[in-house]
Amino acid sequence: MAAIRASSGALVQHLGDRYALTVHPFVPGSAGSFGPHPSSDREAVLDMLIALHRSRPVTAPRTNLRLLGRAVSA
């Protein structure tokens, strides 16, 4: 699943020198079985990848990322 862009357009928000944040949408469901795809699925998989790459990005809403109960250090 592609990451959600911030209001600035960035896919990654750097949080200092050591950390970065990327947001991905939650998609309910369960994982399927893994393994080689039958060759008969090739066209359907390609169609899904084409649709994914043609989709428009979504902008994540701004939020306050402070953790409650954690002391602020300067």
pTM tops 0.85, yes or no: no
16: left (phi over 0), alpha (psi -120 to 50) or beta: left
- Tens of pLDDT, residue by residue over 34-56, are 788 788 988 998 999 999 889 88
In DSSP notation, 12-62 reads -EEETTTEEE-B-----S-----SPPPGGGHHHHHHHHHHHHHSPP-BPPP
Q: What is the pLDDT of residue 22?
A: 93
Place of tokens 């309910």: 28
